[in-house]
Amino acid sequence: MTFSAPAPLTSLPEWQDFCQACHTAQPDESSTRILTAAGLHADFSGQRYSSAWSEASIRLLEARGFSAQRDALLHGGVCNPTEQRAAWHTALRSPSAPKSAITVERERMNAFVRDADAARRWRHIVHIGIGGSDWGVRLSVSAFGYNKLWRTVRFVANIDGHAMEGALADLNPHDTLFVVASKSFTTVETLENAARGREWLAAAGIKDPSQHFAAITARPDAAQRWGVPEGQIFRLWDWVGGRFSLWSAVSLTTALAVSSDVVAGMLTGAAAMDTHFSEAPLAQNVPVQMAMVGIMNRSVLGFGSLNIAPYDFRLGNLVPYLQQLDMESLGKSVDLNGDPITVPTGPAVWGMPGTDAQHTFFQWLHQSSEGAPVDFIVCQHADHKWPSHHDTLLAHCLAQREAMLRGKSYEQALAECQREGLSEERARWLAHHRVHQGGRPNTLIVLPRLTPYSLGALLALYEHKIFTQGLVWGINPFDQWGVEYGKVLAAGILQEIQHPTGVIAEHDASTNYWVNRFARPLRSAD
């Protein structure tokens, strides 16, 4: 394969112009900058901006060949050069891409769900997967089934046996389906947990435990050898990365839990965001603007992390979903030439839903020496029956972002203390503790309400943001070699723990100590 790596980012004059524009741009409290895409509103008024910044951003994207690379992403070109494959997850939701195999597989999944629903079968679902085979399904089930599920749904990802033990508690083996999601069907955690499920079924006297399994994988032959019936194996493709697999039959559990209509709605919303990303001018393109703001905050202004603050209880699993999507994609320190990148890339992504977050770490966001940019996410309309609750939620969201943007000066804090009747000496002292620096970047994303369509659009928005950032930084957002290295080391250490020979392997001294300490006979003796 012929591959032409991009020039080092810092060698580009367009990068130098972009950096200069970032330093001179400022938020403008007197105006708004609100863009729309697929029914979502993105308010960038809390970010630095100027016309010079906008023009420099577009020139930098053009220097990086953005249009051609975007076309490759959306039309099945090789976007993952280190693994020599496409990253064509958008085809899974496109209404127009050639996708006969995709359509067939989706219809097979929907037929499986229809048959199960008609028979009122599988009262209990245990979804076994990890990473991209887990977080997206957790998110969609919790978002749309948080208050009503006729099926009990449990998730098992962690290899810790307590996770599997807890998931199986109080379930009826005779009416339990295990959905095993693994692209390679070699994932250690997933297969170990699936094996425990098979043993649990057999111990309950079920004659053919295999009938209680469905699998989603790019290796149907491996799933069949493991024992999953051929008719209950649903296909992934090599060009679908694990953290983008929500759009595939990995959503079988979602369909069983909250309906195939939810899955279809999410696909439609994501496809609408794909169209926006493909067609909107760069200055009005929401994923592109989010990407360039993120690059400014991380690589130029030096913020080390990005906080995700969804002001919706149902989006509790959005943070770990985006954490994996972003950090597994952009946690790279070499460019496509294999050379070190000399600017900071990939921020740490973290957070939790508001208003819980306000009572956990917002103090740090407001008054720490560093702080972090924040993506506030909120729904304009709620779906519960207590409007005063939603009014309060909206007020808190707007207030927190305004405080981060505007801050509070010493003079304002002093006047506040004086109004409280404090002595002049105490007022002057206490005012220092009430100062908010302000100018802390934030973006507000408003969904009309939480629907499958709006959630699908939101997730695709972040996907395209991350793709654009990888393009500008010159890194491959579709591989994860850091994860693979640890898997290789773990396989060897596992053998040493389970089958100790007394031979010391080539580890560091601490690892050697604990491998020998944890070795099965010694652990039993302890």
Per residue in 412-445, pLDDT tens?
999 999 999 999 999 999 999 999 999 999 999 9
Res 1: pLDDT: 40
pLDDT for 266 beyond 90: yes
pLDDT for 242 beyond 70: yes
pLDDT for 2 beyond 70: no
Structure tokens of 351? Answer: 């957070």
Res 483: pLDDT: 85
How far is it, in rounded angstroms, from Cα 122 to Cα 173? 10
Structure tokens of 474? Answer: 């010159």
pLDDT for 24 beyond 90: yes
Per residue in 296-313, pLDDT tens?
999 999 999 999 999 999
pLDDT for 127 beyond 70: yes
Phi, psi dihedrals of residue 198, rounded to the nearest 5°: -65, -40
Provide the 8-state DSSP code for 183: S
Least confident of 29-33, 36-40, 362-366, 522-526: 522-526
Per the residue annotation, which of 328, 390, 464, 465 is the catalytic one? 328
Mean pLDDT of 465-475: 97
Quickly count: other Cβ atoms within 10 Å of residue 366's Cβ: 18
Distances (CA, A) of 183 to 227, 236, 460: 16, 7, 21
The Cβ-side half-sphere exposure at 428, using a 13 Å CA radius, reads 2
Per the residue annotation, which of 23, 389, 432, 487 is the catalytic one? 487
How far is it, in rounded angstroms, from Cα 61 to Cα 12? 11
pLDDT for 126 beyond 80: yes
What value does the mean pLDDT of the chain take? Answer: 94
Active site residue 328: yes
DSSP one-letter string for 498-516: HS--S---S--HHHHHHHH
Contacts of 352 (CB under 8 A, 6+ apart): 309, 316, 319, 360
Mean pLDDT of 65-81: 95
Per residue in 365-409, pLDDT tens?
999 999 999 999 999 999 999 999 999 999 999 999 999 999 999
Residues 317 and 149: beta-carbon distance below 8 Å: no
Structure tokens of 450? Answer: 């939480």
Bond preceding residue 501 cis, omega within 30 of 0:
no
Res 250: pLDDT: 97
The SS3 assignment for 150 reads: coil
Which pLDDT band, with edges at 50, 70 and 90, does 98 fall under?
Answer: low
pLDDT for 99 beyond 90: no
How far is it, in rounded angstroms, from Cα 127 to Cα 443? 34
pLDDT for 4 beyond 80: no
Per the residue annotation, which of 148, 162, 207, 359 is the catalytic one? 359
Structure tokens of 467? Answer: 């793709």
Active site residue 487: yes
Active site residue 359: yes
Res 487: pLDDT: 86
